[in-house]
Amino acid sequence: MRIVSLMRLGDQEERLQEQFPELHFEFYKHPSCVPKESIEKMDILLSYHQEVNETFIKQATNLKWIMWYATGVNALPFETLKAQHIQVTNAKGVHAQQLAEFLFAFILDDYKEMKETFREQQSKIYNHKRTTPSVAGETILFLGTGVIPQRAAKIAQLFGMHTVGLNTSGHQVEGFNETYSIDEREKVLKKANVIVNLLPETGKTKYLLTRHDFECMNGQALFINLGRGTIVKESILIDVLKSNLIRKAYLDVYEQEPLKPESQLYNLNNVVMTSHITGNGDLNKKLATDIFINNLHHFLNKEPLNENVVDLNKGY
């Protein structure tokens, strides 16, 4: 059995080879380094690269399973995967910790006015009268109620925030004071002080947010996007920020990635940006490999994969 990784996995390579000495592993630095023969003969693929497209998959005639070392699988060619009966699992949950940390780094950076702090320090100003707003009592609205929003919502509650979640059906989820279906969002957008997108990109979520959604917000809202940049067109977001339909945005993901230096987003003073890094963590490869190993035991026993199996019809 041939297992091909399109990235180096550091100390996880040894771990895999020691734990499964009967299997043949190949680790490459980049998709472009993989010999044609390996693509044709591999049974299992480890990757998170955009090079895994329709052309690539059609060459992989022996492929049975892709372990995606990231959460968002939207770049994969679902129809081809279905036609070739290839299963997909992902690294959902691995990024929850880092994302939750960044989410509160962003919220508290804003509410505790950290930039103003640095300005005062640089100017040697001791202004002990300064009062910053509190997150307690604020309403935080999550687009998505999956593993990551749940984790973040529980922390938000401990900070005294009121948590609202949007999901497909509006079903209740632990950690959320209220939940609604995404279609009902108009009635909750206005009362949200912080709006966080953590939805995956699917046919249903791509360009979900329109200018009207931002017009429904209360003008003072903070919009934080840690999900996928395609939740809203960049041109609409720029217009929203220029028109001050919201107070400020913290963005980690963009409609087009990598974000080009020419993007008008760089010219706005009410946006803080990171480079799709909020899920990155030193432990991610280890945690994703934990998931892979758990599933690999099942695969070798000819049992169904049981952790983080992606529904190719839903796209997440």
Residues binding a second copy (CB under 8 A): 97-98, 100-102, 104-105, 108-109, 111-112, 114-115, 117-118, 120-121, 124-136, 154-155, 158-160, 257-259, 261, 266, 272-277, 280-283
For residue 131, the minimal CB distance to a second copy (Å) is 4
For residue 166, the minimal CB distance to a second copy (Å) is 23
Taking residue 188's Cβ as centre, other Cβ atoms within 10 Å add up to 18
Peptide bond into 258 cis (omega under 30): yes
3-class SS at 230? helix
The residue among 84 and 263 lying less far from a second copy, judged by its C-beta, is: 263
Do 149 and 162 contact (CB within 8 A), yes or no? no
Which residue's entry shows tokens 């230096």? 261
The residue among 77 and 281 lying less far from a second copy, judged by its C-beta, is: 281
Spatial separation of the C-alpha atoms in residues 20 and 46, rounded to whole Å: 15
The residue among 117 and 294 lying less far from a second copy, judged by its C-beta, is: 117
Q: Count each helix (H run) and each strand (E run) in the chain, helices first.
A: 11, 12
The residue among 26 and 109 lying less far from a second copy, judged by its C-beta, is: 109
Spatial separation of the C-alpha atoms in residues 152 and 251, rounded to whole Å: 17
Spatial separation of the C-alpha atoms in residues 292 and 91, rounded to whole Å: 9
The residue among 37 and 126 lying less far from a second copy, judged by its C-beta, is: 126
For residue 290, the minimal CB distance to a second copy (Å) is 15
The residue among 40 and 116 lying less far from a second copy, judged by its C-beta, is: 116
For residue 72, the minimal CB distance to a second copy (Å) is 13
For residue 202, the minimal CB distance to a second copy (Å) is 22
Angle at 230 between CA 228 and CA 231, to 5 degrees: 80
For residue 219, the minimal CB distance to a second copy (Å) is 20
Q: What are the start-end ranges of the H helices in the chain? A: 11-19, 36-41, 54-59, 78-83, 96-111, 114-122, 147-158, 186-189, 211-216, 234-242, 284-300
For residue 203, the minimal CB distance to a second copy (Å) is 25
The residue among 244 and 280 lying less far from a second copy, judged by its C-beta, is: 280
Phi and psi dihedrals of 276, rounded to 5?
50, 50
Do 304 and 298 contact (CB within 8 A), yes or no? yes
